[in-house]
Structure 1
């Protein structure tokens, strides 16, 4: 069906060009290069002559390079490449602005600077002609451009010969994602050849005819031509709209097909009992559930009672009460004779869950048999902890309890995934902080059940609706929006040391004030020790926008900060301790117990306290080198304070200069405590990354034109169409082009990532 698209690239553009494309872009097929879409377009009719450059405005100009020089910077690492350019008459009509021709004016000159600009150094050679686009700045009274985008025009295939001036002025220039050795204009030239040699008319359309007609889409062949070689802005816009919807439809159809497959599986129904452990738990609950907890609990109860597996995402702010909702679901399963497993990302969090759930259950936590009653003492459930660092005897006993059914609720880390761990009747899997786990790990746990188990995925990192529709499209979503009573507000401040170096002493004096008031303090560092690269969450280790100097900056480490604070006069006599992932498990447990019991007043930690740690007396958090953490991670961290009805304060400490891009993230975190607002902003600043793959931030997205934040309407329309198509034809037998597109677009690894079940 896609013989033309599957052809080796050398069959259409020649062996030499194909080898260059494969080497620099990793593309080997006709389809790969046809779908290597321009990232944006420049219009020749929007050019500005050098003599009329406006300060602080975005401009586009064509100029010829007079000279280029590169020097090392004195105050920081790296180089500056200074390029002097002059107005260039070039081809007739190329410098039309607002219908006026600027030929005949005295050419102006301009200095353009590139920081660490290897591409500029190698491509902007004397005599070369290029199009530059950027913001005009002023340095020492002289106008210039800094790090502008540029496009070499010497070999622009569309400016050769006697082209019509007016047509050229309006013709957009496609700008492709390029490499240092393969500039955009060379990619454009190769694709122009591909468009001439490929049989575009033979390409099948994955979008059903009725949908394409309703949307008034361009035919596939026309769309490929106009997205790469448009004559007007309307051309590429129409082509993009077509491919964007096509991409959304393929993705949503894959998800709809996955939902249909899940709905066809047979699970064991876990119906509630009127006189079981859950009923006793609800009767003895010392607080009233929020309206949201009650509503979500009712939804879960209904889905657990069905003989098809529940697959639900539960999201809610830190402290919104997700754990209680999950516990009630687990108790319903235990009442029905099944077991529940709670998978946590760290041993600290697993231990916290174990202690918290046993404490919440109170007398209902006992050594009762699975789903049964302890002899003469009413209903109870055994809660078991299983982690990799447990003593051998304790671990063997926990495994025996899980395998025999003695343990109704098993809480653990990755140790639960071991081949040696088995369950008597696993009915419900609860995955906490889902972003820490891959689909393979969840599947390993699912495989331990006799029938497909029910699944509840929890996250305290709010997910924008479009991301939920796209990435978690095969999970139904529930959200806990209200916080339980007693949660105090958290005030967040940005502490800029670059402009206020004297604030360091004030930070520790502020910590002492909290401790003197009877409260406790967290100090969070990005590193454990001097030899460490950082103790970050997956995908957060290198926030985007780091320059060479910033990435090599010495970061605060737990060991160095502990040493410093032990000698800090304002903290004299304060009991403090370190906590990080490399410590002996017993020491970690002992340290957390000491902090929880208020024996340790100040805890210097890495992000191991990011989730689940619940110390009500902690009111101040100091995050050092806060710019090295992602926004969602900072939001999670600060959620550790203000949990006991006492107002919380979070200080985001950074040494970066004002105006640095990474400080914008900190300003956004300080400006709001609304996790959903932050998650939207976080995605904008971090870029979407490969949302269908393992990476969580930055990088090139698998999605080519679809942006989950910007195109909610497109995703929603495509989702509706996909549900209708798959609902009427689950196997897509009547839509072979769409089925084929799903197989090509979502290779097994990517489709596996969609399997959130």
Structure 2
């Protein structure tokens, strides 16, 4: 928007200092633009007038024209109220006031017709409205917009209401702003785009979304503003991608050498799936172009992302470069380290692990070998970002579950070399296409959409609390077959606010049900030290314990092919993405595996949908789509910190076609005019310039 809309909200007529302060604190409204983009969350239909006989208590609001026949004050003290009778040609209705009785009484005139609006109820079999809005009926009143339009309703808070900033108060401020400054709202989309997509002008759209003349105008206004919002995001993302390709040259991995070929021909423990081969080809092409690779690798739990990452690490080593793999937790970093060491063997390549618990004397050796180039691969956590960690020639950085890392953290890794390394971002959280195009819109995306051959789909069962004994019996039968079991709880200690099974109680119950010496239990949770966690994990990995009772610390990073059962307590309290991640801890061997979802009988609508979805499908991408619909993009892991998904009007789960249109047209524009130099694209250059300045995550990975 132009400079006017950066004006502080303090300067809007009718606001003042105290109202400005509460608007900033409660709604984050600092400027004229913020107020304009505080869109209504619903509209009250005042385009229709009801007859009294049509009114029933189920209607949200009604508007009638009726004549006042009588009114009187009845009751004493706390029961005192003003009761009026009105009628039209179809019946009689009662109006009642419990507050402001004296003031209302003074305004009422017997025999006069009124326009009456409010929420209908019923009392003694008769239609009734409590505290209605009333206005004397006249030809002028009927022409007034408020009585004949869709009235906007705005989110407010109790604090705001103390300053008369309820929905009506916000409505008045917005109306005042538009009345004074609507003429100053400048168009930011070129005419050729408006014509191509038949979009309403920007000024009309802002007026239309706040004060629509009718439902058609409202639809057109919302459509325009959604398109603008999605278009602006794609313009920024694809411009950054273009800039990076122009500005940042990338290392060229010219050859496929001995390391890659020896591993592929002699050490690879299983045949690659077609999906893995396709992704390897895509990455191979990227690393030959002389442009820095920024690729997102999506793959469901157990789809074989780690081996793809390893083969690309070997490709980097074949071309004389070092590589690193960064994971968000010690458990996951350690898991990657052991997994890669197991696949390559002892003396094939030099690999080290660097986490917070690595002792100082060992760190020194790692630092020295990194700097002289003798250490080829470093796997670790945030410890990789320390200034002391200096590579001789970092050519590839693999970032796992990258949404757990902040912008500055990723930037540090990115700057570990004079020329930025190729970046491969991995996630086991399947991301719906629309979210990927928005959250990772400047990255190239690869998807591993096949599971390795021989993997059996995990069978998911939903048990209620009163089915606990059969569940214990099932666990015992699996353990008797030599299998192992995870039992996951949402909390470590009891919470007064949430009625949840907690881990400590769970350990007690499990110890009674599965006593020594026949059964042994590992306990893992976030309050243990790294060494304690590792000790308990290793007991389970080695088969010394049959049951691991844990919190969600095991969501990622544990690979025990012998574990065949995942029991999730209070499963209704977990998000779909987390449930799917937890389920992915089993099903890693050739045996049939099971996920048991335990819940109370009291389930919310969303809770029931989540559990039913888990029972019905193992497809992570289907689950992610449903998760997006249930929670919205702002709650999906990692999207909040991206700074991209501050969507005010568009909805990624329902506006997929609009997003595709916006992205397609931006791609076409940059293909014809990469620098946006053509006169018709001047507005787009200005749009880019006014977007958020400073370091952005999408310039990094």
> What TM-score bracket applies, with the shorter chain setting the length?
0.7 to 0.9
Matches within 5 A, 1:314-713: 314-362=297-345, 365-366=346-347, 380-497=348-465, 501=466, 503-530=467-494, 552-568=497-513, 573-655=518-600, 657-689=602-634, 695=640, 702-713=646-657
**If each structure's helix is expressed as a fraction of its own residues, which one has the higher value?**
2
Measure, in 2, the Cα distance between the counterparts of 1:348 and 1:622. Answer: 20
Q: Tell me if 1:741 matches 2:684.
A: no
Q: Deviation at 1:576?
A: 0.6
Q: In 2 relative to 1, CA 122–495 (structure 1 residues): closer, same or farther, beyond 3 Å?
A: farther
Measure, in 1, the Cα distance between the counterparts of 2:242 and 2:144. Answer: 54
Bigger mean CA offset, 557-566 vs 702-711: 557-566
TM-score (norm 2): 0.86
Q: Deviation at 1:316?
A: 1.0
**In structure 2, the residue corresponding to 1:107 is in which secondary structure?**
strand
Q: In 2 relative to 1, CA 598–159 (structure 1 residues): closer, same or farther, beyond 3 Å?
A: farther
Q: Deviation at 1:602?
A: 0.2
User: Contact 1:689–1:696 at 8 Å: present in 2 too?
Assistant: no
Partner residue, 1:115: none
Bigger mean CA offset, 437-446 vs 22-31: 22-31
Q: In 2 relative to 1, CA 661–282 (structure 1 residues): closer, same or farther, beyond 3 Å?
A: closer
User: Contact 2:520–2:547 at 8 Å: present in 1 too?
Assistant: yes
Partner residue, 1:220: 202
Q: Deviation at 1:603?
A: 0.3
Q: Deviation at 1:88?
A: 9.0
User: Contact 2:639–2:645 at 8 Å: present in 1 too?
Assistant: no
Measure, in 2, the Cα distance between the counterparts of 1:228 and 1:600. Answer: 62
Q: In 2 relative to 1, CA 478–390 (structure 1 residues): closer, same or farther, beyond 3 Å?
A: same
Partner residue, 2:13: 13
**In structure 1, the residue corresponding to 2:91 is in which secondary structure?**
coil
Question: Which of 179, 196, 211 pairs up with 2:157?
Answer: 179
Measure, in 2, the Cα distance between the counterparts of 1:9 and 1:743. Answer: 23
User: Contact 2:52–2:88 at 8 Å: present in 1 too?
Assistant: no
Partner residue, 2:191: 209
Measure, in 1, the Cα distance between the counterparts of 2:251 and 2:544. Answer: 47
Structure 2 unaligned spans of 5+ = 67-71, 74-80, 106-115
Q: In 2 relative to 1, CA 566–143 (structure 1 residues): closer, same or farther, beyond 3 Å?
A: farther
Q: In 2 relative to 1, CA 348–22 (structure 1 residues): closer, same or farther, beyond 3 Å?
A: closer
Higher Cα radius of gyration:
2
Q: Tell me if 1:241 matches 2:240.
A: no
Q: Deviation at 1:662?
A: 2.7
Q: In 2 relative to 1, CA 274–322 (structure 1 residues): closer, same or farther, beyond 3 Å?
A: closer
User: Contact 2:52–2:90 at 8 Å: present in 1 too?
Assistant: no
Partner residue, 1:261: 243
Measure, in 1, the Cα distance between the counterparts of 2:458 and 2:414. Answer: 38
Q: Deviation at 1:484?
A: 0.3
Q: In 2 relative to 1, CA 21–595 (structure 1 residues): closer, same or farther, beyond 3 Å?
A: closer
Deviations 1:393-425 (A, max 9, x none): 222222222222122111101111112211111
Measure, in 2, the Cα distance between the counterparts of 1:357 and 1:705. Answer: 45
Q: In 2 relative to 1, CA 88–670 (structure 1 residues): closer, same or farther, beyond 3 Å?
A: farther
CA RMSD between the two structures: 3.9
Measure, in 2, the Cα distance between the counterparts of 1:44 and 1:393. Answer: 75
Question: Which of 28, 39, 42 pairs up with 1:40?
Answer: 42
Instruction: Give the paired residue count.
Output: 666
Partner residue, 1:93: none
Q: Deviation at 1:301?
A: 1.1
TM-score (norm 1): 0.80
Q: Deviation at 1:226?
A: 1.8
User: Contact 1:341–1:411 at 8 Å: present in 2 too?
Assistant: yes
Deviations 1:349-381 (A, max 9, x none): 11111111111112xx42xxxxxxxxxxxxx31
Bigger mean CA offset, 301-310 vs 163-172: 163-172
User: Contact 1:625–1:653 at 8 Å: present in 2 too?
Assistant: yes
Question: Which of 646, 649, 663 pairs up with 1:719?
Answer: 663
User: Contact 1:12–1:197 at 8 Å: present in 2 too?
Assistant: no
Measure, in 1, the Cα distance between the counterparts of 2:99 and 2:486. Answer: 49
Q: In 2 relative to 1, CA 607–15 (structure 1 residues): closer, same or farther, beyond 3 Å?
A: closer
